[in-house]
Structure 1
Amino acid sequence: MRTEWICCPICGGKIRNRIREDTILKNYPFYCPKCKQEVLIEAKNLQISVIKEPDA
């Protein structure tokens, strides 16, 4: 079973969380302590994508 560190999609830094290849995340509120930004991400098959929220 492969595992990878989750990297921040904004600054590219490694975060303390790891995902396995069978991990599925939907609408995960991801917070980066390095750049202090929060985004929603989805993860499936070790591929992470950012969810774009419409501005209110």
Structure 2
Amino acid sequence: MGEDRGHTDRSTDEEFEVLRHVRFGELPARVAPADQVETAETDPPHEEPEQPPVRREWG
């Protein structure tokens, strides 16, 4: 078998950066804190559903 079977090559951060760039392209610019907006929930909170009817109550 291979002599360096137990040895694993560790990729450097620079190599990972190149691979990410190849796969995903250029990252968009960061949003400035002044351009960020706060969101608010507009949907009412979900309520628990009713208990399902018992089979004898179906018919």
Would you say same fold, with TM above 0.5? no
Q: TM-score range by the shorter chain?
A: under 0.3
What's the TM-score once normalised by structure 1's chain length? Answer: 0.19
> Which structure has more strand as a fraction of its residues?
1
